[in-house]
Amino acid sequence: MEEYVLYNGKLSRQFNILQGVRQGGVLSPWLFLLFIDDMISELEKLSTGIVIQNLFVGSPMFADDLTLMSRLKRGLDNMLVQVHNYSLKWRLTFNEKKTVVLTFGEKRDNISAVTNRRWLIGGKEIMEKSIWHNLEKDWHTDVSSLIPILEAAKKGQAIGIGLANLGCRFNGMSPLVATKLWARIALPKMLYGAELWTLNREKLSKLEKVQNIFLRVCLGLLSGTLGSAARGLLGLWTVGAEIDKRKLLFLRRLICASEDCVHRRVFMIRLNRWRWNPNKITGFVPDLVRILQKYCLWEYMDNFLQSGNFPSKSEWKKTVIENINHTEIEFWKFKTQRYKQLGLYSQVVKEPMRNMWLQFALENSEMAIQVAIIVKILCGSFYVNGVRFAGGKTQFHCMSCGNYYINPVKHAMLHCCETQLARTKLWERITYFFPVEFVVNINSLDEGNLMQTIFGNMQFVQGHDNNQVQNFYIIVAESISQIITITSYIDIYLDSETSH
For residue range 12-55, what is the model confidence (pLDDT) as tens digits? 888 777 776 777 777 777 877 787 888 888 999 988 999 998 89
Give the domain ranges of the chain: 27-135, 146-236, 244-329, 356-491
How confident is the model at residue 396, as a pLDDT?
Answer: 87
Most confident stretch, 50-59, 157-166, 456-465: 157-166
> How confident is the model over 406-417, as pLDDT tens digits?
999 999 999 999
Lowest mean pLDDT among 48-52, 112-116, 383-387: 112-116
How confident is the model at residue 114, as a pLDDT?
Answer: 57
How confident is the model at residue 463, as a pLDDT?
Answer: 87
How confident is the model at residue 137, as a pLDDT?
Answer: 80
| 55-65 mean pLDDT | 85
Report how far Cα 434 is from the mean position of its chain's Cα atoms: 44
pTM over 0.75: yes
Q: Categorize the per-residue pLDDT at 499 as very low, low, confident or very high, splitting at 50, 70 and 90.
A: very low
Q: What share of the chain in percent tops pLDDT 90?
A: 63
Residue 204 has pLDDT above 90, yes or no: yes
How confident is the model at residue 308, as a pLDDT?
Answer: 92
Spatial contact of 175 and 223, defined as CB atoms under 8 Å apart: no
CA dihedral angle for residue 177, residue 178, residue 179, residue 184, rounded to 10 degrees = 90
Lowest mean pLDDT among 26-35, 91-100, 259-268, 321-330: 26-35
How confident is the model at residue 500, as a pLDDT?
Answer: 41
Residue 313 has pLDDT above 90, yes or no: yes
Residue 109 has pLDDT above 70, yes or no: no
Spatial contact of 48 and 72, defined as CB atoms under 8 Å apart: yes
- What is the rounded CA–CA span in Å between residue 349 and residue 456? 8
Spatial contact of 114 and 128, defined as CB atoms under 8 Å apart: yes
> How confident is the model over 168-178, as pLDDT tens digits?
999 899 999 99
Residue 218 has pLDDT above 90, yes or no: yes
**CA-based max dimension of the chain:** 95
- What is the rounded CA–CA span in Å between residue 295 and residue 153? 26
Q: Categorize the per-residue pLDDT at 497 as very low, low, confident or very high, splitting at 50, 70 and 90.
A: very low
- Burial class of residue 442, CB neighbours in 10 A (0-12, 13-18, 19+): buried
- In degrees and rounded to multiples of 5, residue 14 shows phi and psi of -75, 145
> Alpha helix (H) ranges present in 123-277?
147-165, 175-181, 187-190, 201-219, 227-234, 239-255, 262-276
Q: What share of the chain in percent tops pLDDT 70?
A: 96
| 463-483 mean pLDDT | 92
